Amino acid sequence: MTDNNHLFDDAIFAYHYFSIKKNLSLRYGVAKNSKKPAKGLVLLLHGRSEFIEKYKEVAKYLQNKGWTIVSPDWRGQGLSSRELENRCKGHINRFDDYVDDLEAFYSKGIESQGLPVYILAHSMGGHIALRFMKKHPLKIKKAILVSPMIDITLPKMVKPVSKLLSKQLSKTSFAQKYTPGSRDYSIKDARFKGNNLCHDPKAYWILHDEIAKNSDLAVGGITWGWLNAAFESINILKQEAVIDKITTPILMINAQNDSIVSTKAQEKLSKKLPDCTFLSIKGAFHELLFEEAKIKRKLWDAINAFLDS
């Protein structure tokens, strides 16, 4: 992968920038395999508000298994270009922008590596991966979707109102305003006790510790525009004509106690996809890759078996 914008390296990743178009660039990290030859390339796709540094331990694990890892920050996240003047706002006009970015990045940076490409994606990253694989079913050898965002979990009475409001407000100046309850990132909002992301205290603080080192990594809540774009993309993934074209072999791993994304929607989609193995992990919260040891053992046993099969 060639790039003229090489940044600093850390113990795992070498960081670079990739230009999508004028005033829009994606930062990405490359973690070369520690064994020769590489088994293949794992395209590591994060969830909403995340960034490459959070996944250093995940990348290190895969490195030691003989994989090369490439991981981009989505536009509006990490150190990629932000959508708005307020860096903290989680905003996108349409999820097609994420898919288009991934297509450009893949065609100019991933294909040239000459390695079989696998996807490991979490949450929103899993959603974007599905949209990408619908358009390019033969580019990815296998995909692991961990707690994929097939639908968003909202109270039954709130969801239809949220859909209607976000659709209307996204057409106005409110598109770039926070939804109720959303705000800029603050470390004061972070509490391990009672959190619904993971059971491992050390893993919980990784994101916040990295933001303490570089505040530019922070992303806060979502805008009305982001919410509407998410609902529109969720509807696309419900279409039978879309589902039938996602022929890539998939391992979908579900966190049984996930309260962020819909576990029912995950299982329902897994049954409709042409080639999908579904696994539900008991007692797990949303961030399976950052869960306590006993849960991660089950997770990685399943991932390794799937990748090596």
Q: What is the pLDDT along the chain (309 residues), one digit of tens a residue?
A: 434 444 445 689 999 999 998 889 999 999 998 778 889 999 999 999 999 999 999 999 999 999 999 999 999 999 999 999 999 999 999 999 999 999 999 998 898 888 999 999 999 999 999 999 999 999 999 999 999 999 999 999 999 999 999 999 999 999 999 999 999 999 999 999 999 999 999 999 999 999 999 999 999 999 999 999 999 999 999 999 999 999 999 999 999 999 999 999 999 999 999 999 999 999 999 999 999 999 999 999 999 999 999
Per-residue confidence (pLDDT) for residue 3, from 0 to 100:
43
Per-residue confidence (pLDDT) for residue 8, from 0 to 100:
47
Sign of the Cα torsion 242, 244, 248, 252 reads: positive
CATH number at residue 56: 3.40.50.1820
- Using CB atoms within 10 Å of the CB of residue 36, give its burial: 0 to 12 exposed, 13 to 18 middle, 19+ buried: exposed
Number of structural domains found in the chain: 1
| Measured distance CA(201)–CA(205) in Å, rounded | 7
Question: Is residue 52 situated within a structural domain?
Answer: yes
Question: Is residue 219 situated within a structural domain?
Answer: yes
Question: Is residue 5 situated within a structural domain?
Answer: no
Q: Strand, coil or helix: what is 279?
A: strand
| Measured distance CA(265)–CA(159) in Å, rounded | 14
Q: What is the DSSP letter of 222?
A: B
Sign of the Cα torsion 239, 244, 245, 247 reads: positive
* Amino acid residing at 106: Y
Could you tell me where the DSSP H helices lie in 156-223? 158-169, 201-204, 206-213
Q: What is the DSSP letter of 74?
A: P
Domain that holds residue 229: 14-308
| Measured distance CA(107)–CA(42) in Å, rounded | 15
Question: Is residue 138 situated within a structural domain?
Answer: yes
| Measured distance CA(2)–CA(11) in Å, rounded | 20
Strand boundaries in 78-191, DSSP class E: 117-122, 142-146
Question: Is residue 298 situated within a structural domain?
Answer: yes
**38 in Cβ contact with 44 (< 8 Å):** no
Per-residue confidence (pLDDT) for residue 22, from 0 to 100:
86
Per-residue confidence (pLDDT) for residue 7, from 0 to 100:
44
242-262 per-residue burial string, b: 16 or more CB within 10 A, e: under 16: ebeebebbbbbbbbeebebbb
Strands 40-45 and 67-72: parallel
Residue at token pair 């968003």: 152
Question: Is residue 172 situated within a structural domain?
Answer: yes
Question: Is residue 2 situated within a structural domain?
Answer: no
| Measured distance CA(100)–CA(201) in Å, rounded | 36
| Measured distance CA(221)–CA(224) in Å, rounded | 10
Question: Is residue 48 situated within a structural domain?
Answer: yes
